[in-house]
Amino acid sequence: MPTLSLTDNALPLINPGMGWKLHYYDNSIVKYGHKLDPADTLDDWPGLSTIYLRLPWSAVEPKHQDFDWSVVDAPAQRWIDKGKQIAL
């Protein structure tokens, strides 16, 4: 039977969908992540894999059939560019 030897490389374990998560929005657009500087992608947070953008539909559609996707697109893109997953 083969033997497997593991060594610690001192890097954080990134487990997409199972690692650390950030609630950028959490049922409101004025809580949590909106306070971050727009350039801050939290690169110093080891293991961060998923960014949650949980917000009421009224933030995307403030008036009937008048959609403002920038509330999702703008914050999501900075983490998509870093290879993170986005959850809505």
Give the SS3 label for residue 85: strand
Which of 62, 42, 54 is CA-nearest to residue 88? Answer: 54
Tokens of 64: 């009937």
Query: H helices of 1-88, where?
Result: 57-60, 70-80
Tens of pLDDT along the chain (88 residues) come to: 899 998 998 887 777 667 788 899 988 888 787 788 888 989 888 888 899 999 999 999 999 999 999 999 988 999 999 989 999 8
The pTM of the full predicted model, rounded to 2 decimals, is 0.73
